[in-house]
Amino acid sequence: MISEGSLTTQFEAHIDRAIDDILASLPNPEQLPPDERRGIIARYTAVLEGNFIYWMSAGHLSVVSEEAKSVIQDNLLEEVRDSHPEMLRKFAMCACAVPTDSDALAVYGNLRNVRLFVGRLQGVEILLMMAFFEGFIVKFMPYLAELAKKRGSAERAYTDVHGTCDIVHTQELFRALDAEMTLMHDRLAPATELIEGVGILRRLIENIIHPCVAANPNHDNHRCSGNMA
């Protein structure tokens, strides 16, 4: 999976492939029933609204290089100063897609797995996971905006902002990753272990898109009866 060459470049390619795979699995908005258009927006909101800043903060607590701390700090500053959670809440409200308890339960097992992973406070691993997250968000925004449009919403602040600013954020996170790995080079886990968080978050993102993606059976007590479409 991860082979020769600059490790950061290899990770970047791995993450790009993971994002492309997810995008290729997106159901056609035209063919989605209205309640599933609502469901994707609601589950996305349930995951992002209260967790993005928390997970990025965990990255800040975990990294040791000044470069990585500075990159994450800039990212957090923008999130808090510009009230990105409020921006997302408004987006969901305007699309009549505010998360319900059912939406929260649909992603609960996979969300918990990400939280437990983040709680290990491993800097390089969290940076990789968040670079994947930011990279996915950028490319997912046109699809999310299309779903909202089909639900009659003209609210675009959240998708417009995240379709552009996260491009820079993703690049910066890879720069932070490079600095962190350089500083930690003699203490790094094998590459396949470093990318564990990418796989755990990928499962959660797939769960946002497809409501019955079960969490890893080693950890999950709330599996649905169906499978990913």
Handedness of CA 171, 176, 177, 181 (dihedral sign): positive
Interface region with Fe ion, contact rule CB under 5 A, candidates 25-33, 82-90, 101-109, 194-202: 82-90
* Residue number, 13 or 77, with CB nearest to Fe ion: 77
State in angstroms the smallest separation of the CB of 162 from Fe ion: 6
Size of the site for Fe ion (CB under 5 A): 1
> Shortest approach of Fe ion to residue 78 CB, angstroms?
7
CB of 63 to Fe ion, least distance (A): 19
Q: Cβ closer to Fe ion: 7 or 144?
A: 144
Residue 9 CB, nearest approach to Fe ion (Å): 26
- CA 75 and chain centroid, separation: 14
To 5 degrees, how large is the angle CA 72–CA 80–CA 84? 105
Ranked by CB distance to Fe ion, the top (closest) residue is: 84
Give the nearer residue to Fe ion in terms of CB position, either 43 or 84.
84
Using CB under 5 A, which of the segments 77-85, 95-103, 143-151, 183-191 binds Fe ion? 77-85
Residue with Cβ nearer Fe ion (69 or 162)? 162
141 neighbors 157 (Cβ within 8 angstroms): no
CB of 2 to Fe ion, least distance (A): 28
Q: Is 169 in the site for Fe ion (CB under 5 A)?
A: no
Cα–Cα distance, 177 to 11 (Å, whole number)? 10
Smallest separation, CB 84 to Fe ion (Å): 3
Of residues 84, 169, 202, 203, which one binds Fe ion by CB under 5 A?
A: 84
User: Cβ closer to Fe ion: 37 or 84?
Assistant: 84
Long-range contacts of 142-147 (CB under 8 A, 24+ apart): 143/23, 143/26, 143/29, 144/40, 144/41, 144/44, 146/29, 147/29, 147/32, 147/37, 147/40, 147/41, 147/95
Residue range at the interface with Fe ion (CB under 5 A); choices 80-88, 177-185, 186-194, 209-217: 80-88
Nearer to Fe ion, 27 or 85 (CB): 85
Give the binding site for Fe ion (CB under 5 A).
84
